[in-house]
Amino acid sequence: MSEVKGKLDRDRLKENGITLGRNVVDLSNLRELLGDQAENLAGRLLNFHQFAPQERAQALLSSTDRNLSNRLKADLESAQEVENLKKLKAKGVRSHREAMNIVVASEDRWMDLVKEELFKDVRQRARDAEGAKALSVNQLARALRVDRDVTWYAAYQARSETALPDAPKLTRPKPDLYISLPTVDQQKVPRGFARIPSLRSFLTVDLLSLQREIGLVSNPLGFASGGKIKDKDRHCFPCMVLEAKHHEVKQSEVMKCYYQAANATSSALAMLDSLTRDFIQSNFKSEGRPVVAITLNGHQTRVWVAGIKYKVNISKRVPLGGGLKWRKFTKVRYHMQCIWKGDLHDEEPMMQLICIIDNLEKWINDDFRPWVSRHLSRHYYNEGIWEDIDEETSMCNNEEEEDSSGVEDSDSENSEDYEDQTDEEERQWDENWVLDTEEESESGLSSDDEDYDEYLRDKERADSLMDQFSRLSVDAKANSTTRVTHRFIKARNERGL
């Protein structure tokens, strides 16, 4: 009997416990929806403050006033900071020019932009780490894996186990690009490696031992059951996926791009849930880590944060032994929420996306990697692979145990209510998707009200930056700014709103 081929559409995703929200939400709404860690991640990704010093530096460096040298030192911490900001600005300008030059409606053209411009630095560092004969501990601590176009067999299986047995099959994820953590060959460990638990946790041989002993799958492709581990398999726990289409795709393909990203992020989250299931039971929204998705439909780009919305124990009668028997399942509800969108044909959104990618790399190294390492360390200790456990991991484990109180037992899925509000264009795309009243409610706001609220948030952010620039301007003339009525306000005034 041939295997049933999976498909990908909105209804099938929902039956597998996967939803997405295309309306750009603020941090407080994101916290209510996906928890503290999602809010923290989004706040870090959307921190564009580093561009303010860049603008100040450009203004100061271009001035002929010699008395500004003291101001420059006060505004910028070091010459290296100025240099780094200049490089980031130059990268944004160059990427914007390349995006404007894409005319042919080809996905390969946009993936070239992704590889050669947007993720060029991250990819280059990843390749340098892969090919190096010897790495220092510091280099290894910042190394990442960047891969593309490989099927996530193991991650798909991990996600399938969190859905009910009668849920329709989905396609296996195959992201256009994804970032994960590299694993380390025991023969290539640098000096001092064993003394750093955050690195020691990622030995390939130890990860393979966890797979054999407790079935913990860390590699999205699936480690080979025997024989030598191939170099392409030496990575674990994806934390960012990217899906891309060209700029002339139909609306159905635009939605497919989002579905592919939601399918991949839920599979990555299922692996993280498997990693922490014994240690984080009920408060994954507070203690667990989300993952990131980026979608490009040509120049129309979105950034998403995906997390586990909740887990619920349910009972269901399933075919077993020629009859129907009751079985208990822990169903996981995944959600992917848009936190930013922009048109890469405009220079400012391109600059922001460059900044988001730069902040993403820092978050992976500063927060995601140590968090994964702590939970791997505890598994190693419990299974006797390690004889001891570091003090930091032990303290974090104790805190998690105090906060955990078990998974909620319920036969319904209305433990989280959230109004998914969309603009008019997205309402047209969503017209055939009837929302389940148990899970989500209709929005009472019009698309105009949503756009107006979004404008006010953008305006407040822009005014804040303008105030910073004004205080640091050279003369009083520069302190004055001309107020221009936003086009949206004009439209509302003309309509008498």
Residue 371's contacts (CB-CB under 8 Å, 6 or more residues apart) are 289
Residue 203 β-bridge partners: 184
**Residue spans per domain, the chain:** 10-44+104-444, 447-497
Classify 250 in phi/psi space as left (phi over 0), alpha (psi -120 to 50) or beta.
beta
Looking at this protein, which amino acid is placed at residue 194?
A
What residue ranges of the chain have pLDDT lower than 70?
Answer: 1-5, 49-82, 192, 194-195, 197, 223-228, 281-282, 317-321, 326-327, 329, 388-497
Which tokens in the block code for residue 342? 């922009």
Q: What is the pLDDT of residue 65?
A: 43
Looking at this protein, which amino acid is placed at residue 307?
G
User: Dihedrals φ, ψ of 454, to 5°?
Assistant: -65, -40
The C-alpha atoms of residue 473 and residue 389 are separated, in whole angstroms, by 53
The DSSP output letter for 66 is G
Residue located via tokens 């040509």: 298
Q: Give the alpha-carbon dihedral of 101, 102, 104, 110, to 10 degrees.
A: 160
- In order of 90, 111, 126, 266, the CA distances from 87 in angstroms are 5, 22, 19, 34
Sequential DSSP letters for 166-222:
TSPPBPPP--SEEEEEEPB-GGGPPTTGGG-HHHHTTBHHHHHHHHHHH----SSS-
The C-alpha atoms of residue 139 and residue 148 are separated, in whole angstroms, by 23
Reference 345, options 353, 355, 337, 357; nearest CA is 353
Reference 273, options 145, 156, 158; nearest CA is 158
Q: Is residue 231 classed exposed, middle or buried when 0-12, 13-18 and 19+ CB atoms within 10 A define those classes? A: exposed
The C-alpha atoms of residue 337 and residue 51 are separated, in whole angstroms, by 25
Which tokens in the block code for residue 376? 């791997």
Asked if 332 and 314 count as a contact pair (C-beta separation under 8 A), the reply is: no
Q: What is the 3-state secondary structure (H, E, C) of 459-482?
A: HHHHHHHHHHHHHCCCCHHHHCCC
Sequential DSSP letters for 440-456:
EE---S-HHHHHHHHHH
Which tokens in the block code for residue 429? 């795309």
The C-alpha atoms of residue 20 and residue 260 are separated, in whole angstroms, by 11
Residue located via tokens 């220092």: 136
Residue located via tokens 């030496």: 234
**pTM for this predicted structure:** 0.75
Helices 36-45 and 27-34: crossing angle, nearest 10°?
140
Residue 410 β-bridge partners: none
The DSSP output letter for 411 is S
Asked if 417 and 398 count as a contact pair (C-beta separation under 8 A), the reply is: no
Q: What is the pLDDT of residue 400?
A: 44
Asked if 136 and 193 count as a contact pair (C-beta separation under 8 A), the reply is: no
In 93-119, which positions are buried (b, 16+ CB within 10 angstroms) versus exposed (e)? Answer: eebbebbeebeeeebebbbebbeebbb
pLDDT digits (tens, 9 = 90+) for 11-66: 999 999 999 999 999 999 999 999 999 999 999 999 886 554 444 445 544 544 44
Residue 7 β-bridge partners: 170
Half-sphere exposure of 215 (CA within 13 A, CB side): 6
Reference 243, options 299, 341, 305, 174; nearest CA is 174
Calculate the CA 74 to chain-centre distance: 35
Asked if 149 and 176 count as a contact pair (C-beta separation under 8 A), the reply is: yes
Reference 293, options 331, 333, 335, 236; nearest CA is 335
Q: H/E element holding 242?
A: strand 235-245
Calculate the CA 311 to chain-centre distance: 20
